């Protein structure tokens, strides 16, 4: 019979709650501004996330500090009734200011996606492609940070785009080109300086991104990304930094030689995977602030 170890074993320490956050996700809100003619439409999906003194809710089952997520949803609708929502950022800030006043709350994050609608007639709208506006407000003891942006801004140009001069080794098969299709789905997120209250610059920033993409003579996606970011910073003095994410939606020239045909840069195959992914944050220099 094996000899049992007579040494006492130390009981494992209990787990400790080291971080928590909770909230209500994907609150759908459509606000019609009927007092204006023509009518205006705002279509949002909002997330509310709270941090604070909620340990007892998890550990002890004590719900006394716990704001019901259903209450969060109702608060979104109630404040939307009182607020014309001229700018998503200001509405998100109002929500953050409301929830930070709750006794147990130490930090609030409000995220919003705006679903675009284009006007067909005074009171009729059509929803374009997948482009969406985004906004996020984070409020805690250190202050408020407001970030806005857009996702899935799909753009393409058929010339003024090159990629050459890159390193080559035994695994490199990509040919150099001085004229190719450049296509991407832009995600942009820019941060406003503290104290900003005018968020009407969104259209100007988007226009700067699109116009720069169209007019820039690109040596790479990275090259165009930087030019677009600089143009966005120039479009709004209240923006302190911008992050751009630009996947390269490759369009590969089809080899038609097996069919006895040439292909003078006209027939391409669009590929989804794999793809290059280019990201960067450009921050305004102090001298330019």
- 250 noted as active-site residue: yes
pLDDT, tens digit (0-9, with 9 covering 90-100), for 6-24:
555 677 777 889 999 999 9
- Given the residues 45, 69, 151, 158, the one annotated as active site: 69
- Given the residues 24, 73, 87, 98, the one annotated as active site: 24
Judged by phi (left if over 0) then psi (alpha if -120 to 50, else beta), residue 130 lies in: alpha
Residue 289 has pLDDT above 70, yes or no: no
User: Rounded to an integer, what distance in angstroms lies between the CA atom of residue 135 and that of residue 92?
Assistant: 8
pLDDT, tens digit (0-9, with 9 covering 90-100), for 25-68:
999 999 998 887 888 899 999 999 999 999 999 999 999 999 99
- Predicted confidence at residue 232, as pLDDT, reads 98
Are 117 and 189 members of one domain? Answer: no
Residue 239 has pLDDT above 50, yes or no: yes
From 101, 121, 141, give the residue that closes a domain: 141
Evaluate whether residue 271 is within a structural domain.
yes
Are 37 and 118 members of one domain? Answer: yes
Residue 2 has pLDDT above 60, yes or no: no
pLDDT, tens digit (0-9, with 9 covering 90-100), for 61-101:
999 999 999 999 999 999 999 998 999 999 999 999 999 99
pLDDT, tens digit (0-9, with 9 covering 90-100), for 167-176:
999 999 999 9
- Predicted confidence at residue 34, as pLDDT, reads 82
CATH code, domain carrying 111: 3.10.270.10
Are 161 and 232 members of one domain? Answer: yes
232 Cβ contact partners less than 8 Å away, ≥ 6 residues apart: 188, 190, 205, 208, 209, 239, 242
- Between 286 and 112, the higher pLDDT residue: 112
- Predicted confidence at residue 1, as pLDDT, reads 52
Are 116 and 202 members of one domain? Answer: no
Residue 287 has pLDDT above 80, yes or no: no
- Predicted confidence at residue 7, as pLDDT, reads 53
Are 160 and 135 members of one domain? Answer: no
- Predicted confidence at residue 37, as pLDDT, reads 84
Evaluate whether residue 16 is within a structural domain.
no
- Predicted confidence at residue 108, as pLDDT, reads 98
229: which strand partners? Answer: none
4 Cβ contact partners less than 8 Å away, ≥ 6 residues apart: none
User: Rounded to an integer, what distance in angstroms lies between the CA atom of residue 69 and that of residue 188?
Assistant: 29
User: Rounded to an integer, what distance in angstroms lies between the CA atom of residue 162 and that of residue 206?
Assistant: 24
Residue 144 has pLDDT above 90, yes or no: yes
- Predicted confidence at residue 272, as pLDDT, reads 80
Q: Chain-centre distance of CA 152, in angstroms?
A: 9
Give φ, ψ of 262 to 5 degrees. Answer: -90, 170
For residues 211-237, average pLDDT: 96
Are 135 and 68 members of one domain? Answer: yes
Evaluate whether residue 230 is within a structural domain.
yes
Residue 120: give the domain boundaries: 21-141
From 141, 168, 189, give the residue that closes a domain: 141
- Predicted confidence at residue 172, as pLDDT, reads 93
pLDDT, tens digit (0-9, with 9 covering 90-100), for 188-205:
999 999 999 999 999 999
DSSP per residue over the chain, as a string? -PPPP-SPPPPPPPP------EEEEEEEEEEEETTSSS-EEEEEEEEEEEEES-HHHHHT---TT---HHHHHHHHHHHHHH---SSHHHHHHHHHHHHHTSTTEEEEEEEEEEEP-EEEETTEEE--SS-EEEEEEEEETTEEEEEEEEEEEEEEESSSB-B------TT--PPPBSS--EEEEEEEEEEEPTT----TTHHHHHHHHHHHHHH--BSSHHHHHHHHHHHHHHH-TTEEEEEEEEEB--EEEP--GGGT---SS--EEE--SS--EEEEEEE--GGG-
Evaluate whether residue 129 is within a structural domain.
yes
- Predicted confidence at residue 4, as pLDDT, reads 55
- Predicted confidence at residue 285, as pLDDT, reads 86
Evaluate whether residue 15 is within a structural domain.
no
- Predicted confidence at residue 3, as pLDDT, reads 55
Q: Is residue 288 very low, low, confident or very high in pLDDT (cuts 50, 70, 90)?
A: very low
Evaluate whether residue 9 is within a structural domain.
no
Are 80 and 132 members of one domain? Answer: yes
For the chain, the C-alpha Rg in angstroms (whole number) is 26
Are 91 and 196 members of one domain? Answer: no
User: Rounded to an integer, what distance in angstroms lies between the CA atom of residue 250 and that of residue 177?
Assistant: 13
- Predicted confidence at residue 8, as pLDDT, reads 58
Are 80 and 156 members of one domain? Answer: no
Evaluate whether residue 205 is within a structural domain.
yes
Evaluate whether residue 11 is within a structural domain.
no
* Number of domains forming the structure of the chain: 2
Are 212 and 244 members of one domain? Answer: yes
Are 177 and 280 members of one domain? Answer: yes
From 141, 170, 196, give the residue that closes a domain: 141
- Predicted confidence at residue 234, as pLDDT, reads 97
245: which strand partners? Answer: 187, 279
- Given the residues 73, 98, 216, 250, the one annotated as active site: 250
Are 231 and 259 members of one domain? Answer: yes
């Amino acid at each position: 019979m094996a000899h049992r170890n007579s040494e006492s074993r130390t009981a494992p320490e209990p787990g400790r709650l080291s971080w928590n956050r909770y909230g209500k996700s994907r609150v759908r809100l459509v606000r019609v501004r009927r007092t204006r003619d023509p009518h205006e439409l705002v279509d949002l999906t909002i997330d509310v996330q709270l941090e604070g003194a909620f340990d007892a809710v998890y550990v002890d089952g004590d719900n006394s500090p716990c704001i019901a997520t259903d209450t969060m949803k109702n608060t979104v609708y109630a404040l939307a009734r009182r607020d014309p929502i001229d700018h998503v950022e200001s509405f998100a800030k109002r929500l953050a200011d409301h929830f930070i006043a709750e006794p147990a709350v130490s930090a609030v994050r409000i995220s919003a996606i705006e679903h675009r609608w284009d006007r067909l007639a005074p009171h009729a709208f059509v929803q374009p492609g997948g482009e969406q506006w985004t906004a996020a407000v984070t409020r805690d003891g250190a202050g408020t940070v407001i970030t806005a942006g857009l996702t899935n801004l799909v753009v393409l140009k058929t010339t003024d785009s090159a990629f050459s001069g890159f390193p080559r080794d035994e695994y490199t098969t990509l040919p150099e080109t001085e004229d190719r299709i450049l296509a991407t789905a832009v995600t942009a997120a820019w941060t406003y300086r503290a104290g900003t209250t005018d968020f009407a610059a969104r259209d100007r920033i988007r226009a700067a991104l699109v116009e720069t993409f169209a007019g820039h003579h690109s040596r790479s996606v990275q090259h165009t990304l930087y030019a677009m970011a600089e143009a966005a910073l120039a479009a709004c003095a209240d923006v302190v930094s911008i992050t751009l994410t630009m996947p390269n939606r490759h369009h590969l020239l089809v080899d038609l030689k097996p069919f006895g045909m040439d292909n003078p840069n006209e027939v391409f195959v669009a590929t989804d995977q794999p793809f290059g992914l280019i990201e960067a944050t450009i921050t305004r220099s102090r001298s330019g602030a």
